[in-house]
Structure 1
Amino acid sequence: MAVTPTVAKGAPGIPARWTSSAKSGVGTALSARSPLWFTTSHGILNEIYYPRLDSACTRDLGLIVTGPDGYFSEEKRDAAHAVEPFEDGVPGYRLTNTASDGAYKIEKRLVTDSKRPVLLQETSFTAIKGQAADYRVYALLAPHLVNAGMGNTAWIGEHKGERLLFATGRGVSLALASSLPWGACSAGYVGFSDGWRQLHDSCALDPSCHTAEDGNVALTGEIGFSAGKTVALLALGFGASPEEAADLALASLKQGFEPAAKTYVDNWRTFQARLEKLDRRAASGLNTYRASTAVLATHLSVARPGAAVASLSIPWGFNKGDDDLGGYHLVWPRDLVETAGGFLAAGDGRQALQILAYLRSIQQPDGHWPQNVWSDGTAYWPGIQMDECAFPLLLADALRRAGHLPKSKLADFLAMIENAAAYVVRNGPVTGEDRWEEDAGYSPFTLAVEIAGLLAAADMLDACGKNEPANYLRETADCWNDQIERWTFVTGTEAGAKAGVEGYYVRIA
């Protein structure tokens, strides 16, 4: 009986939400031809970012296993997860998910294709109980194109004779291809007609669910595992149109996993080779230094040199919907300076200098930096935090002390330094207003950054022959330093008595 494809029921789906920010891995190809960043947790892919690292385009991509007598298992919820990087400092990953009931094992390898914006997931399925033929394995993909779960359209389609799973929204499209032909597929609305719901309720996909328009949508496809074919390569491509995304996914699929993985690893080895050899291993065997430098580098923009987001995640994602686009995948000047400090400590002064140049480019005319910005420099939250206005002064001084900002180069940043120091003097020493959890007040942390920042600025002004303003900054810093205890140290409190201490510094006063 022929089935007429229809739009799935349940539009527009339940309100969209993001996922856990407890990441076990982040990665990217370190290639301008592959503006794609991915994250993993709970044994599956989570947010994938494209074409900028502040544009999340998926919620997650995981597998569902069904079997005899209504058997239903979702790997992210119903399995034990192990994650292992390819090698020290190379954020390609081997994921092993073993079903909690001992029924199956799923093994994956993850990289992005350095030649194009495609994520590659090599997937193998092994039956531990019964035969492989007893089970069916489905890929479940939740598109959240360009920082939003609502307003996406998903469908099952064909491109150049190949069947693919498509989605589009806000000028970006994705296409999911498989090296083993897709079996049953569906596109539905989350919470009503999505593949998870269909498989959970009836252990089968409804072939009439062919399209889901303008909502919170999900794509599901059965991976064509069989007795002789136990490994599948999934290629998730991104582009400005469905056709472009499909072309790229199919090109990566044709190239195969091994060539992509080799280039990916080589790119990361080249990056790691230019860093200081400060390797150290945790009790787990993880090389924490190389893992840390890989995490820092994964958060860098390819389009805007020197830009880096605070985190490829959306904190409290289970509770965050489309009304809060920001998350931590924004540039926070404080976190960016700390990232630069990490690169400087690892011996990559060039990268730290690029970060300072980027900060100069997004400084506001009055001398401050916004609380956070998109990577193109557009402010997101309108709040102002005074430590974020002083931190770039400390970065400039650290670069100068390390020999990366000699007097000739320092002059290029002099206007930035003067404007930032003047803003701190005019608006400090209180913390400033923000959009997080703080009210304005006196904070020991902010005071420390402001005072140190003014002293650093004074040294740099001195180096450029501007002695009078330098002396003024030092006098201001000394004055504030003398007041720290009066502003932030308390005595005779109930909390102090409980802790058995006479007094303590408060977080904010």
Structure 2
Amino acid sequence: RWEENSGYSPSTLAVNIAALMCAAGFAADRGDPQTARFFEDYADFLECHVEAWTVTTAGALVPGISRHFIRIHPVAPGDPEPDEDPDHGLLQVRNRPPGEPFEFPAKDVVDAGFLELVRYGIRRFDDPVIADSLRVVDAVLKVNTPLGPCWHRYNHDGYGQRENGGPYEGWGKGRAWPLLTGERGHYELAAGRDARSFIKAIEGFASATGLLPEQVWDESDRPEYFMYLGRPTGSAMPLMWAHAEYIKLLRSARDGAVFDRIPSVAARYLGQGRRACRPLEVWTFNRRVRTMRPGWTLRVQAQAPFRLHWSGNEWRTAQEAPSAGTAAGIDYVDLSVPPDQEAPLRFTFFWTEPGRWEGEDFTVAMDRGPQRH
């Protein structure tokens, strides 16, 4: 969400899950149940991979908490076979001072973006991983000021006023962002607690004319640079995102409920009858998944009509399945894989409109190893 790295982040996943559920509602209202179900299925696919893609089990930031959300699992946009293990990978952090390290293990870089999972109604406020991740975020990113608490974007951030209080000029040190106080206020409200102290803190961070800054100073006062703890730095002011977060928090506090919570999302993922994670794996040309769990369904997607020519017994026999279309311009075939499947699935495409074969076989092997939740 900080527009600096590509990959899988809990905040982006939360937004996409919520958006897909809204799109499903639009499709249903237009009398297109097949497309509505497709959007719901894809939301379920993302939802049941949130932890697998963005929760480390090897965190080292806070003793005793090895399992927590990370800021982002870096994946190159053009990589069709990415390593999706969040315990792997190095994250490049922008705007670091010259000569300072700029690559860090992704598993040890955190932000509070996972709170959007609670905001939209995808995870409960007291989900154990959410709770542990908050402990890590507070230990690593929280700043206490005379005006109230504030938080850094993420650890190792180089975008902000320099160490001595001087201006950011291509590099510096990330300072505390008032909008993140608003984000935390929304979480506290979702947890049934009072958000008024967070509203008061945001108001205290504002300028004398009521403008909210992007960042506030987070260290001892530096009068020579007009830097005072909890007061605006030389960052952008007003920051419209911060004002929007403040307004939404005011509305949420008045309503006694998070304004951004989406009823259809919460009903699907937090309701008493919530089903177990839907066993769905998705193969696309830009994500050529290499393994799947036996007993799951493999959904093969493409952006044109096709017939899937496939085998589950090393081509001793083969079957064909025509793709189903959607109003989203995506066709798909579902392959139900039995729990005792041992052999990999092998398949290729016959493109029905041009009448030609893909000319390449693809493989998805069975994975019986421990499952990350």
TM interval, shorter chain, is 0.3 to 0.5
Greater fraction strand: 1
Structure richer in helix, relative to its length: 1
TM-score normalized by the length of structure 2: 0.33
Alignment TM-score, normalising by the size of structure 1? 0.26
For the pair shown, which has the larger CA radius of gyration, 1 or 2?
1
